[in-house]
């Protein structure tokens, strides 16, 4: 039997297509442009002559370090806060205040995080311009995302799970750690990965907390300064006269591929996990 769509449904489908078209064509356009300049050599050699020759290994490695550092910091804080808000927070004004603050934090422009990171991590705590400072800054930026994802994942676990755990004599924490958290694992990890992807694409927060345009060596520890793809792209596109456009496209394409791989990977994995669930 053929299903009939009415006018309102068709309108919704049309709007959906119109909404998806611009970002999708932008992605395809960038990747198509990038294909010409992308090669194994380009992603596996360090830049020389300010990016006019060589590749983009140093910015790639820097961005990977940055994502790792951000994850290491944001996971304990973000997941901890998410668990507290979803499972233990009393329903009072302080909790509401915390929730409002978190929602607002998510809307703060990223350059403000950059200034915050510079004032607190670089200067006040004396970490200097380094991977630590930049990772902590990006962790602050992605914290609301991870908290919200954790909270949502925990809230999605049916109430009956908690009741069953309590009925079997488990303490609330035992219930959370052995039943609820494992059930919510995929949602939490997906949220964190999306946070990492966001962090990888940011320029403003790292600009004054540790990124460098030119570094003679790859970062060796979290105290090192680092190069990063978004900043590298910004400088080669605006400040290096005579930069071939293929190199800019290829750099943009690499950044896009890295971020998209994480996002698509996170989504596919979450769907796979979700299908295993029987609720």
Partner 1 sequence: MKKFFSIAALALVASLALTGCQPKTPADNGGTTPPPPQKATIIVNGSDTMVNMGAALAEEFMKTKENIEVVVSGGGSGTGIASLINGSCDIAQSSRAMKQEEKDNAGKQGTLHEVIVAFDGLAAVVHPSNPVKEMTLQDLAKIYRGEITNWKDVGGNDANIVLLSRDTTSGTHVFFKEFVVQEDGKAKGAEFADQTMMMPSTQAIVDELTNNVNAIGYVGLGYLKPSITALGMKANADAPAVLPSVAAVQDNTYGLARPLFFYIVGNLEGAMQTYIDYVLSPAGQKVVADLSFVPISK
Check residue 182 for interaction with partner 1 (CB under 8 A): no
Q: Which residues pair with 48 in a beta bridge?
A: 53
Q: Which residues pair with 47 in a beta bridge?
A: 54
DSSP 271: H
Residue 172 corresponds to which tokens in the numbers above? 């609330």
Q: Report the site for partner 1 in 214-253 (rule: CB under 8 A).
A: 214-217, 221-223, 225, 235, 238-241
CB of 212 to partner 1, least distance (A): 4
Residue 32 corresponds to which tokens in the numbers above? 């198509």
Radius of gyration of the chain from its Cα atoms, rounded to whole angstroms: 22
Figure out which of the listed residues 39, 48, 160, 267 binds partner 1, where binding follows CB under 8 A.
48
CB of 127 to partner 1, least distance (A): 7
Figure out which of the listed residues 72, 101, 168, 272 binds partner 1, where binding follows CB under 8 A.
72
CB of 78 to partner 1, least distance (A): 10
Residue 216 corresponds to which tokens in the numbers above? 């003679």
Count, residues near partner 1 per rule CB under 8 A = 43
Q: How far apart are CA 140 and CA 142, in angstroms?
A: 6
Q: How far apart are CA 169 and CA 156, in angstroms?
A: 22
Check residue 211 for interaction with partner 1 (CB under 8 A): yes
Q: Which residues pair with 54 in a beta bridge?
A: 47
CB of 185 to partner 1, least distance (A): 16
CB of 240 to partner 1, least distance (A): 5
Q: Report the site for partner 1 in 86-105 (rule: CB under 8 A).
A: 88
Using CA atoms, how far residue 226 sits from 73, 91, 198, in Å, is 18, 44, 18
Q: How far apart are CA 173 and CA 182, in angstroms?
A: 13
Contact 131, 225 (CB under 8 A): yes
Check residue 65 for interaction with partner 1 (CB under 8 A): no
Contact 138, 132 (CB under 8 A): no
Q: Report the site for partner 1 in 123-162 (rule: CB under 8 A).
A: 123, 125, 127-129, 132, 135-136
Check residue 173 for interaction with partner 1 (CB under 8 A): yes
* Binding stretches for partner 1 (CB under 8 A): 48-50, 72-73, 76-77, 80, 83-84, 88, 122-123, 125, 127-129, 132, 135-136, 171-173, 176-177, 207-208, 211-217, 221-223, 225, 235, 238-241
């Amino acid at each position: 039997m053929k299903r009939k769509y009415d006018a309102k449904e068709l309108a919704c489908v049309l709007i959906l297509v119109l909404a998806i078209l611009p970002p999708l064509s932008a992605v395809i356009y960038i990747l198509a442009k990038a294909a010409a300049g992308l090669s194994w050599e380009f992603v596996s050699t360090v830049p020389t002559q300010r990016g006019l020759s060589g590749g983009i290994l140093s910015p790639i490695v820097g961005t990977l370090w940055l994502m790792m550092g951000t994850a290491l910091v944001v996971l304990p804080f973000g997941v901890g806060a998410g668990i507290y808000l979803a499972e233990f927070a009393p329903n009072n004004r302080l909790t509401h205040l915390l929730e409002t603050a978190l929602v607002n934090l998510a809307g703060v422009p990223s350059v403000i995080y950059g200034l915050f990171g510079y004032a607190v991590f670089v200067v006040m705590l004396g970490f200097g311009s380094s991977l630590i400072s930049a990772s902590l800054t990006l962790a602050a930026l992605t914290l609301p995302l991870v908290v919200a994802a954790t909270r949502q994942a925990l809230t999605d676990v049916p109430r009956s799970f908690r009741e069953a755990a309590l009925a079997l004599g488990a303490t609330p924490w035992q219930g959370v750690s052995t039943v609820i958290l494992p059930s919510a694992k995929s949602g939490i990890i997906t949220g964190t990965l999306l946070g990492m992807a966001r962090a990888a694409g940011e320029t403003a927060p790292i600009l004054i907390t540790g990124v460098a345009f030119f570094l003679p060596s790859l970062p060796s520890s979290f105290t090192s300064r680092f190069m990063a793809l978004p900043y590298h792209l910004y400088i080669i596109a605006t400040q290096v006269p005579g930069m071939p456009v293929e190199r800019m496209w290829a750099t943009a394409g690499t950044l896009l591929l890295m971020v998209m791989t994480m996002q698509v990977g996170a989504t596919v994995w979450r769907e796979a996990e979700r299908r295993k669930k029987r609720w």
